[in-house]
Amino acid sequence: MPFNSARFEQAKFESRKARVAVEALAPFFDPDEPAEWEVRGLTAAELHQAMDASNRQGSIETIIKALATKADQAKAIRQALGLSGDTPGEIAKRIEMLVSGSVQPQIDMPTAVKLAENFPIEFLQLTNKISELTGQGAELVKPSAASQPTPA
């Protein structure tokens, strides 16, 4: 059966999503809300950006060293950017993945770094789920069913 490229081009897609239980983070959720983090699969561009994070981290470190005249200034710049000088490449990649793949809550780089440093297991669970969803590809958006007429 040949691939129908016209049908493929007309199709609408959306990122796969999943909720991940993060009980260790329960104190940071509203009391009446479940401790769940919603994540989604990444696009090709987001995945590549995450995979390139360790290269960018080296470039950023070079810039920080050039800008800072004192060690304290370099440390302040790293903290403002949510970076440390010795983050392994795999962790830098996963931090980028978490920032891009978090649906609810949406987070920034400093929050992702703090989560990785203080809740490493939850951090890995979340980024593993993002990897899984990314590997499954996007979901085909199904047209909404026509509403049924209501009986009179």
> Using the 8-state DSSP alphabet, how is residue 98 labeled?
H
Residue 148 is classified by DSSP as P
Strands 102-104 and 36-40: antiparallel
Distance from the Cα of residue 86 to its chain's centroid: 21
Q: What is the pTM of this model?
A: 0.76
Q: What are 61-108's pLDDT values in tens digits? A: 556 666 666 667 666 666 666 555 566 788 889 999 999 999 999 999
Q: Compute the distance between CA of residue 4 and CA of residue 43 in angstroms, rounded to an integer.
A: 22
Q: What's the rounded Cα separation, in Å, for the pair 43 and 21? A: 23
The amino acid sitting at 144 is S
